[in-house]
Structure 1
Amino acid sequence: MVSEYGKLIHYVNQDGRVNALYSSPSIYTDAKYALDKSWPLKTDDYFPYADRINAYWTGYFTSRPALKLYVRMMSGYYLAARQLEFFKGRIETGPTTEILADALAIAQHHDAVSGTSKQHVADDYAKRLFIGYKQAEDLVSNSLACMVESASASGCKNPRINFKQCPLLNISYCPPTEADLAPGKKLVVVVYNALGWKRADVVRIPVVNKNIIVQDSTGKEIESQLLPIVKESIAIRNYYATAYVGESPTSSPNYWLVFTATVPPLGFSSYVITSGKQAVAASIPQTFYKTDGSQSDSVEVGSGNLKLLYSANGGKFTQYFNKRNQVRSSLEQSFSYYSADDGSKDDHKDIQASGAYVFRPNGSFPIHPEGKVPVTILRGPLLDEVHQNINSWIYQITRVYKEKEHVEVEFTVGPIPIDNGIGKELVTQIQTDIKSNKTFYTDSNGRDFLKRIRDYRADWDLQVNQPAAGNYYPINLGLFLKDNNNEFSVLVDRSVGGSSLVDGQLELMLHRRLLNDDGRGVAEALNETVCALGKCMGLTVQGKYYIRIDSLGEGAKWRRSFGQEIYSPLLLAFTEQDGDKFTKFPVPTFTGIDPSYSLPDNVAIITLQELEDHTVLLRFAHLYEVDEDKDLSTKASVELKRLFPKRKINKIKELSLSANQERVEMEKKRLKWKAEAPSDSREVARGGPVDPTKLVVELAPMEIRTFVIDLSQSVPEGWKSHMSL
């Protein structure tokens, strides 16, 4: 059957003066290249986009924030699962990561992670991710069991140990850790680190009993801390655990047990939790109340270098101070919401409501505490927490860790009230005294940071009729602003929308609940609900963002290194053991690389995967831009022999980024375009070829390199040779 286009092509070609044909991207590109002209360079992007007045496509930066977090969590989990599959050795039968890989690929669709699908379609994306996770979870458990039992890479098929994991740990639901340990029983926690460098991070697990102690794999007691689980968290836990698991929890934990895990690169450490005669010291709450009175007195929070000051009467941030580098700034955080415009006052031919795609506010309204609300401080040896019940649908916990120099803010938002028939878009603002002069910086897919200037575009004369929506940008990693003295950075745990609408201030949109469709194809309102325990409620979202202020030029180190830790959190697996039979694992701690080696601070390993033919797909990324950091924006080198210390590298091939062709062949076919070079044009640096003898990979700033490596399959000395004691 001939299409209408086919008919058009047929009759045009009959004329003879024009040759019409079905084109392709390559044909179009070749035609442009044949013009042999110089082309302008564009180094920024086209955000924010609007297709007409009042229709800025900046709402989808935040739409469906729970799904956005789920995709981010599964992406990090997938990275770790592939590593563990490689260390154990891929087998033809049994669980793999392939179903999760397919689900994550589908979730990258522009109507999936963007949050612009119908509700039942979004549910299907989440379902596919969960199915993929369950098979990857089995692979992770089996791999860890084989590795702690010291099985060889090829000889472990039926490990004895049964590891369990807790995908709902963020809402304090983790049945393996909630058992009341009987005498002689112990809970073993294996902590896996998917990053290429050693890290020390705080682990939080829910427990029932406070009479417990934490020990490392050598039997040394580890300093720990108990934090009470507040009733607001228990209510969310019970409701959402029932919704996701299908049955109500039979009991509730009383405390968060907190301890610091130190884990080698691409490896794991194990910790043992047992009943103790003396209880771990529980954090003592100190409570004061938010009022509108004088804020002359301050309360200090933080036992390490970082100190936060709160007004004793107002219960608000007032100051940030790092005594190590003497960085000090005023700091104030607040909540507000944008009332969603329903388009009812528009011309009937040009109605525009706020919806899944479009952010169209109709006024901004600050959120004030409802009456005399308590602010509670919990202090302890590892961290301090500040609990604030902002109102009936916003709860916030601010954490300051003794050994860290950033602020962690955990928010719980929802259900957003819609009783008045108006949709709302919740934001938080963090105000400092930094003189940013309309300028701020947002990441581009977690890689470059692009300069943004409020109400300004470099390429054209901008007319902004929506001051908020017209200045919103997608935030995948974070955003920051700076002046002549300091940098103020905020990192996020998922993709959200953000901006700087006031000098010295950064704003994040945390949640959206809307009652109208915006006419861009979804054909339903973005009004997410969850049903459980016989009732349906608007979606409650829990998440985190992180704050830090540095001296000018010092902020990139934290943004890049901690950004990797956010994306790749420590992976936890649990098993209960009888003290009489299993006092410790044969391999209690492990690193997959040379124990004396770690990746350079400016390099991340973003793929380590054994393929079906048993070759290894390996990707490295340089984390820094040119001139971003005085020490780390330089070429870096990775020693492959130390990355695979017990495996012989037989052959290595460099591929294109997507690993579908060899780089040598790709370079032969690459078109050499002429460019209208800007005044600051510099040749792009690249790492050199890999010497087959030295086997060292060079990476220039922002470079990503992809390789397929043929490794010998034997592991001569077994897993014990990889132990890092």
Structure 2
Amino acid sequence: MDRSSCLLLFLAIGITCVATQECGYEKCRSLPIKPGMINVHLVPHTHDDVGWLKTVDQYYSGANSSIQRAGVQYILDSVIPQLEAKPERKFIYVEIAFFKRWWDEQDEDMHGRVKKLVDKGQLEFINGGWCMNDEASTHYNAIIDQMTLGLQFLNTTFGECGRPLVAWHIDPFGHSREQASLFAQMGYDGFFFARLDYQDKANRLKLQNMEEIWRGSPNDLGKVADLFTGALFAHYTPPEGLSFEILNNDPPVQDDPRLHDYNVDERVNTALNRSVEQAKYFRTDHIMWTMGSDFHYQAAHTWYKNMDKLIKYTNPGNKVNLLYSTPSCYVYHKNQAADVKWNTNNTDDFFPYADKPHSFWSGYFTSRPAIKGYVRECNNFLQVCKQLEVIAGPLPFTNGGPSSQRFREAMAVAQHHDAVSGTEKQHVAYDYAMRLHAGAVECQEVVSHALAGKMKKGSVEPPAAQFCAYLNVSICPTTEENDHFSVTVYNPLARQVTGHYLRLPVNGQSYTVTAPNGKPVKTQMLKVTQQTAKVRGPRGNATSELVFPVTVEALGYSTYLISRATRTTRSLFMPQAETNVISMAIPQSPRMREDIEIHNEHLSLIFDTTTGHLKTVTNLKNKLILNVQQAFYWYNSSTGNNQDSTQRSGAYIFRPNGTEPFPIHTKGSVITKVVTGALVQEVHQVFSDWVTQVIRLYDGQLHAELEWTVGPIPFKDSLGKEIITRFDSDMQTDKKFYTDSNGREILERELNHRLTWKLNQTEPVAGNYYPVNSRIFIKDNSRQLTVLTDRSQGGASLKDGSLELMVHRRMFYDDNFGVGEALNETGVFGEGLVARGKHYLMLESPADSSQLHRNLGEQLYMAPAVSFTPNTFSTQDWSNNFNMAYTALKRELPSSVHLLTLELAEEDTALLRLEHQYQAADGGTPQTVSLQGLFEPFEVVTSSVEELTLGANVHAEKLHRLSWNTQEGTTGNVSQRCWDPSSATVSLKPMQICTLRFHVKRRW
């Protein structure tokens, strides 16, 4: 009974009734399933990229049709009346970034019509994230955020009927195990994708193993992270010959026998043949056809008219039953096959992906390194912004004040599989960056307001905060142009940060730095390098960098006061570390040919003076010594002129001409100077006029920092180049190395090997590259060499003891996978793009490494946020008027517990995620955290606490996942609750994430 009928009945006889809802799996029980037949689930769908060849706006509006005829608004306009015309018709929609924009443009009448279709199960949301995110170059924090943004919109707009039950990643270029784990923790019952290695697919078809239970966290979360997973048979397009998109060439169903083009028999035979052929490779009598593709259904009637006819004429008298369906109904009926025991042998992932022998999609792990770095920085700042909205309270909503919402949406769009992946056209990449920048600028206002509110003691208003986005190339007008300024450092971690070093561009010879407690801080002055001055160009003019350490309390800030030193203050007040610079002229004298060493109390780095390369790393605490050389190389990008294939390297594909890269080096030593001092020691290396590096050891830190600058990659020799940094050590690693999965769990990799199928390796370099989101390492019995990254990159170990990371790419040709242009980025001055980034090198024993590199990884992606103000106050006046330090926590969280999310859900409601960031293999043990009295600015109203699934759209106690029969027993409907209301505590097992929503009671 629909809502209008219900209303008439109420008026007539005075009873209360509600519209019939067929959401969830209720809608699946009424499908016209026919046992003993091949039930073909026709799934009408459209795949709508949130930017790729066109920008997000252009795709929505249909603009710029010279590139692609695609307008998402017309798809939704067209589909709705077709669903209303016949109740058996279905449609699924995925990308909420587009749907919400369309929804906001509709009137109340259309809202009611759409809700009716959702309630009846005709319009179903699948996946439900803001976008369909990439799985190689995305960080789990950003994945969770973008999924939450979409799922919460669906929840508040459509309620339970809007909740997606199935994940749908039909286009990403390979699939991570962590993604499956996250989907399972969000409560999904199934996960479908289209792209898997062509050899893997052939093997799965042969074994009838296209569908299985994927074990997303076999050693930690266990069955909680198990997920029914299916690889699609025909990519995500319709079966061959059965596409009814208006501009496609497949024949429609012409059923008037009076016409010469009558073709019902041919169309039915095609459907029967495609059904029987596909069914041979699948277990149970249910198969799925994906009836749609990229931006299909702009003229939806052509699809539905022909599918109606295909169903009408195929079903009678045949062993095939075509029916309108959805992925969730397909999963439901798969689950009903009680006699099937599903395989659970996959604990691996689906990287790297190759669609044919010489086309490995491992180039995009590194493509567009600048936007990859910017996305990571923006994620960091977004977490700061969201935290401070909770800590300080939101700016007034009534005034339309700035908030984190724009930034949340821009970051969510940036996780799309043609965004952070680097596989979009250049003008689209610019658009993504501009969206991020606009969101960041609005959040700067939020952060400035929040910090000012916490600083203020009385009636004097603190100066407005200013932000410097280009500190990595020594640009900051506030610090360059003012003799007196303050620096406020906000720490988004739930633990105190000590020994974090700031490097500020300045123009004076020396400066005094005063800590929040009024004591002087030791400083060190360094000259801005020639390479930095070259990269920044005329945008900055600082001559030096002021270096000093800061300490910041958990979830709080510290303000440091800086003044240019006079002779008096230099001698009486400032503890400045002496800096010694040794210039390395070439040719060198015999005395200078001795090895060069820099060290702190933890690490010693020795460089070969003849070559200038890193030679030895020693852990001084553990007495571990590793002989390791680090240098830069380049692979020559294939232009498709090989004898065995015409495949080129491009935005997606990594295909080098040959297996050995070319070294990048100058004649003689690459070291140009050595800088020593009490706070930081540096070795400056010039490998060429377009590749330089500074290796740093800061006082007190357990790792070495390697800051690389690459570009513009030269083009004069007409050779495309893919640049790597490589570490060659004396370890015996048995062809094994280790990479993270989206920043969380670690997966073991083995050279030329796949865990679940026999690999015929056709590309010995590209076929061994894996995504590195946060870290990669190699180890032997006593030593582990770990390299952490500041952005996603491709990495490999191509021989024992060796580890390499690709940092930059530039090519002449497109790889012919759709983007239609070469990956040839230019920088701000019209030359090739210059990329600057950092690697962090650790040497520890394997037993000690795991927790250390996880803690360092947390500090890198949740780094302190720095803001500045010109200072007209004396030190005493500042201290009298403003709070110099603040923490929002009354006690720190344990080192194994990470505060993953703290954000406003509504004005007086917060969303909190606590994460156990250690694996059991790291020595992770269960942890308990009490929420009573945890936060300083507000109380958690414990009676209001709701435990939710990871996507924050379902109450944990209401989640009932499907159970699956497997060779190892049942799996699926397993809960791992974390909230104990009787004690107001959160209990976490290794790798568990607890999601809570609660009311906040502010203390002011």
Q: TM-score, normalised by structure 1?
A: 0.90
Give the one of 554, 558, 581 matched to 1:269. Answer: 558
**1:317/1:333 contact within 8 Å kept:** yes
Asked if 1:224 corresponds to 2:531, the answer is no
Superposed CA deviations along residues 201-238 of structure 1, whole A, max 9, x for unmatched, are 11111111023111112221011111110122112112
Superposed CA deviations along residues 263-319 of structure 1, whole A, max 9, x for unmatched, are 111001111101323454552211225779999732210232211111233322111
Residue 780 of structure 2: aligned partner: 483
- Gap regions ≥5 residues in structure 1: 239-247, 717-725
Q: Structure 2: how far apart are the matches of 1:385 and 1:27?
A: 61
| 1:344, distance to aligned residue in structure 2 (A) | 2.3
Q: Structure 2: how far apart are the matches of 1:451 and 1:222?
A: 44
Secondary structure, counterpart of 1:600 in structure 2: coil
Asked if 1:697 corresponds to 2:995, the answer is no
Residue 637 of structure 1: aligned partner: 928
Secondary structure, counterpart of 1:643 in structure 2: coil
Asked if 1:425 corresponds to 2:722, the answer is yes
Give the one of 495, 506, 520 matched to 1:207. Answer: 506
Q: Structure 2: how far apart are the matches of 1:583 and 1:25?
A: 61
Residue 720 of structure 1: aligned partner: none
Q: Structure 2: how far apart are the matches of 1:227 and 1:22?
A: 69
Q: Structure 2: how far apart are the matches of 1:283 and 1:684?
A: 62
Equivalent residue letter for 1:225: Q
Of all paired residues, the percent bearing the same amino acid is 37
Pairing of 1:219-298 with structure 2 (within 5 A): 219-238=518-537, 248-249=538-539, 252-278=541-567, 279=570, 280-281=576-577, 283-289=579-585, 297-298=594-595
Equivalent residue letter for 2:503: R
Residue 562 of structure 1: aligned partner: 856
Q: Structure 1: how far apart are the matches of 2:688 and 2:668?
A: 9
In proportion to residue count, which structure has more helix?
2
Q: Structure 1: how far apart are the matches of 2:551 and 2:856?
A: 15
Give the one of 68, 75, 99 matched to 2:372. Answer: 68
Superposed CA deviations along residues 409-434 of structure 1, whole A, max 9, x for unmatched, are 00000000111111000001012222
**1:685/1:700 contact within 8 Å kept:** no
| 1:351, distance to aligned residue in structure 2 (A) | 2.3
**2:578/2:678 contact within 8 Å kept:** no
Superposed CA deviations along residues 108-158 of structure 1, whole A, max 9, x for unmatched, are 11110000001011111111111111101111111111111148xxxx9x9
Q: CA RMSD in A?
A: 2.3
Q: Structure 2: how far apart are the matches of 1:613 and 1:68?
A: 32
Residue 226 of structure 2: aligned partner: none
Cα pair distance change 1:302/1:424, threshold 3 Å: same
Superposed CA deviations along residues 13-65 of structure 1, whole A, max 9, x for unmatched, are 45575432222121111121111222122111011111001100000000000
| 1:346, distance to aligned residue in structure 2 (A) | 4.8
Equivalent residue letter for 1:639: S
Give the one of 441, 449, 453 matched to 2:738. Answer: 441
Equivalent residue letter for 2:450: S
Asked if 1:104 corresponds to 2:416, the answer is no
Give the one of 670, 677, 682 matched to 2:968. Answer: 677
Q: Structure 2: how far apart are the matches of 1:272 and 1:49?
A: 52
- Gap regions ≥5 residues in structure 2: 1-300, 571-575
Residue 463 of structure 1: aligned partner: 760
**1:608/1:618 contact within 8 Å kept:** yes
Equivalent residue letter for 1:179: E
Equivalent residue letter for 2:887: T
Asked if 1:550 corresponds to 2:847, the answer is no
Superposed CA deviations along residues 313-361 of structure 1, whole A, max 9, x for unmatched, are 33221111121111111121011100001002457xx621000000000
Cα pair distance change 1:354/1:715, threshold 3 Å: same
Cα pair distance change 1:7/1:159, threshold 3 Å: farther
The more displaced of 425-434 and 302-311 is 302-311
Q: Structure 2: how far apart are the matches of 1:291 and 1:11?
A: 86
Asked if 1:167 corresponds to 2:469, the answer is yes
Superposed CA deviations along residues 429-480 of structure 1, whole A, max 9, x for unmatched, are 0122221110011111111100101011121111111111000000001111
Give the one of 589, 596, 617 matched to 2:911. Answer: 617
Q: Structure 1: how far apart are the matches of 2:669 and 2:502?
A: 33
Give the one of 890, 897, 901 matched to 1:607. Answer: 901
Pairing of 1:4-403 with structure 2 (within 5 A): 4-15=306-317, 18-36=320-338, 37-41=340-344, 42-90=346-394, 91-92=396-397, 93=399, 94-150=401-457, 159-181=461-483, 186-200=484-498, 201-238=500-537, 248-249=538-539, 252-278=541-567, 279=570, 280-281=576-577, 283-289=579-585, 297-346=594-643, 351-363=646-658, 364-370=661-667, 373-403=670-700
Figure out how many residues of one structure are paired with residues of the other and give that number: 682
Equivalent residue letter for 1:167: A
**2:609/2:669 contact within 8 Å kept:** no
Cα pair distance change 1:685/1:428, threshold 3 Å: farther
Equivalent residue letter for 2:414: A
Residue 723 of structure 1: aligned partner: none
Asked if 1:653 corresponds to 2:946, the answer is yes
Q: Structure 2: how far apart are the matches of 1:559 and 1:222?
A: 28
In proportion to residue count, which structure has more strand?
1
Cα pair distance change 1:291/1:433, threshold 3 Å: farther
| 1:677, distance to aligned residue in structure 2 (A) | 3.1
Cα pair distance change 1:136/1:222, threshold 3 Å: same
Cα pair distance change 1:621/1:566, threshold 3 Å: same
**1:298/1:310 contact within 8 Å kept:** yes
Q: Structure 2: how far apart are the matches of 1:550 and 1:436?
A: 15
Q: Structure 1: how far apart are the matches of 2:972 and 2:325?
A: 33
Q: Structure 2: how far apart are the matches of 1:605 and 1:611?
A: 16
Q: Structure 1: how far apart are the matches of 2:993 and 2:1003?
A: 29
Residue 801 of structure 2: aligned partner: 504
Equivalent residue letter for 1:191: V
Cα pair distance change 1:372/1:505, threshold 3 Å: closer
Q: Structure 2: how far apart are the matches of 1:264 and 1:562?
A: 17
| 1:642, distance to aligned residue in structure 2 (A) | 3.5
Q: Structure 1: how far apart are the matches of 2:845 and 2:589?
A: 34
Residue 243 of structure 1: aligned partner: none
Cα pair distance change 1:677/1:287, threshold 3 Å: farther
**1:422/1:515 contact within 8 Å kept:** yes
Q: TM-score, normalised by structure 2?
A: 0.66
Q: Structure 2: how far apart are the matches of 1:211 and 1:287?
A: 22
Equivalent residue letter for 1:39: W
Secondary structure, counterpart of 2:878 in structure 1: coil
| 1:382, distance to aligned residue in structure 2 (A) | 0.9
Q: Structure 2: how far apart are the matches of 1:149 and 1:272?
A: 16
Cα pair distance change 1:289/1:454, threshold 3 Å: farther
Q: Structure 2: how far apart are the matches of 1:216 and 1:686?
A: 48
Q: Structure 1: how far apart are the matches of 2:316 and 2:902?
A: 56
Q: Structure 2: how far apart are the matches of 1:621 and 1:573?
A: 28
Q: Structure 1: how far apart are the matches of 2:709 and 2:593?
A: 29
Q: Structure 1: how far apart are the matches of 2:424 and 2:415?
A: 12
Q: Structure 2: how far apart are the matches of 1:571 and 1:457?
A: 41
| 1:558, distance to aligned residue in structure 2 (A) | 1.6
| 1:583, distance to aligned residue in structure 2 (A) | 2.7
Secondary structure, counterpart of 2:421 in structure 1: coil
